[in-house]
């Protein structure tokens, strides 16, 4: 069953911000049957679907304002967890999916999704990194999704600022910057390197780039997350790290208490280009 309870909670949190953000007057606060069908019956593996209890794809995408026919950039899509939802949805509704990623793995990623254009539409990829060309012609993108990536950028001076400037240039006026990331306690050092970021730091970076915070949600909150793990957030599922980065896994490591926590506590934010 889809996460309708989280969907209702997310839209309720969004409503106060909508009053101050006229560009979102047409947000779909009613169920999206195509999105429901893609999530329930689309090409996702059982392993991908098992994570829905933590990632709440339906509630999150509706909160961020996904609509039929949009042009969407998915930043650093990794193994394609969001791609397997967004590409089929956009193909069925007349939209366009663009992956923004480094050169490594880009050709294989595009080939994977281009193999079934009827399902995924015309999936393309553009270069993205600390120094990269424009992501799209100025003012042509409706929504940019950044899911669990900013904590890595924070470790490189200027990376977040450059990325947010690139996003603003690509987005239409009123376009959406959708952010999800592991949430640190207020006042934490964003360069701590444990994978968590303070929400206020992310908001300040986005606002400094010319975005307005339209809404925040607790859709992806997890009160069990204590953020004090031997290998940072990567100790938790789905990574389940058992040794320092770069070292082989420790077969004797006890994952039980970390698996019981589940995936991390995450901020879920929606910004608009003003």
Structural domains in the chain, sorted by start? 4-273 (3.40.50.150)
Phi, psi of 209, deg, nearest 5: -90, 0
pLDDT over threshold 80, residue 274: yes
Stretch 105-122: mean pLDDT, rounded? 96
Can you read off the two tokens belonging to residue 256? 């039980």
Residue 132 pLDDT:
87
pTM above 0.85, yes or no: yes
Kindly report the number of other CB atoms within 10 A of residue 5's CB atom. Answer: 12
Would you place residue 13 in the very low, low, confident or very high pLDDT band (cuts 50, 70, 90)? low
- Residue 3 is predicted with a pLDDT of 58
Instruction: List, for residues 37-95, the tens digit of each pLDDT value.
Output: 999 999 999 999 999 999 999 999 999 999 999 999 999 999 999 999 999 999 999 99
CA–CA dist 266, 218 (Å, integer) = 8
Quickly count: other Cβ atoms within 10 Å of residue 53's Cβ: 11
DSSP for 195-261, written as a single string: S-EEHHHHHHHHHHTTEEEEEEE-TT--TT-----TTGGGGSTTT---SSTTSPP-TT---HHHHHH
Q: How confident is the model at residue 30 (pLDDT cuts 50, 70, 90)?
A: low
**pLDDT-derived band at 31, boundaries 50, 70, 90:** confident
Q: Which two tokens stand for residue 183?
A: 């949430």
| C-alpha span between 195 and 174 (Å, rounded) | 30
Residue 9 has pLDDT above 80, yes or no: no
Task: Considering only residues 13 and 106, tell me which one the structure prediction assigns the higher pLDDT.
Answer: 106
User: For residues 109 and 197, what is the distance between their CA atoms, to the nearest angstrom?
Assistant: 28
Helix (H, G, I), strand (E, B) or coil at 75: strand
| Structure confidence at residue 7 (pLDDT) | 52
pLDDT of residue 17: 37
Mean pLDDT of 221-228: 98
Distances, alpha carbon 69 to alpha carbons 17, 143, 184, in Å? 24, 11, 35
Q: What average pLDDT does the chain have? A: 92
- d(C-alpha 254, C-alpha 37), whole Å: 38
Residue 4 has pLDDT above 80, yes or no: no
41 Cβ partners below 8 Å, 6+ apart?
Answer: none
Reported as type and span, the H/E element at residue 180 is strand 171-184
pLDDT given for residue 85 in this prediction:
98
Q: Are 92 and 34 in contact (CB under 8 A)?
A: yes
**What is the per-residue pLDDT across 153-206, written as a single tens digit (0 to 9) for each?**
999 999 999 999 999 999 999 999 999 999 999 999 999 999 999 999 999 999
CA angle 115/2/178 to nearest 5° reads 65
């Amino acid at each position: 069953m889809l996460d309708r309870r989280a969907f209702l909670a997310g839209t309720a949190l969004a409503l106060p911000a909508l009053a101050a953000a006229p560009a979102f007057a047409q947000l779909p606060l009613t169920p999206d049957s195509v999105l429901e069908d893609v999530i329930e019956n689309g090409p996702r593996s059982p392993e991908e679907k098992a994570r829905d209890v933590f990632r709440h794809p339906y509630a999150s995408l509706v909160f961020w304002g996904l609509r039929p026919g949009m042009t969407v950039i998915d930043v650093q899509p990794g193994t394609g967890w969001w791609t397997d939802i967004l590409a089929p949805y956009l193909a069925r509704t007349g939209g366009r999916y663009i992956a923004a990623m480094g050169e490594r793995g880009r050709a294989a990623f595009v080939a994977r999704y281009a193999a079934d254009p009827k399902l995924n539409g015309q999936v393309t990829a553009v270069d993205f990194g600390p120094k990269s060309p424009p992501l799209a012609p100025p003012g042509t993108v409706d929504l940019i999704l950044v899911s669990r990536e900013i904590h890595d950028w924070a470790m490189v001076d200027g990376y977040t600022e450059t990325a947010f400037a690139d996003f603003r240039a690509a987005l239409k006026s009123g376009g959406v910057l959708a952010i999800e990331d592991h949430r640190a306690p207020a006042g934490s050092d964003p360069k701590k390197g444990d994978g968590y970021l303070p929400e206020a730091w992310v908001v300040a970076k986005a606002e400094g780039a010319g975005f307005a915070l339209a809404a925040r949600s607790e859709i992806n909150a997890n009160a069990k997350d204590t953020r004090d793990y031997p290998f940072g957030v990567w100790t938790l599922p789905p990574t389940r790290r058992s040794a320092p980065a770069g070292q082989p896994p420790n077969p004797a490591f006890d994952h039980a208490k970390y698996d019981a926590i589940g995936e991390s506590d995450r901020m879920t934010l929606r910004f608009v280009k003003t």
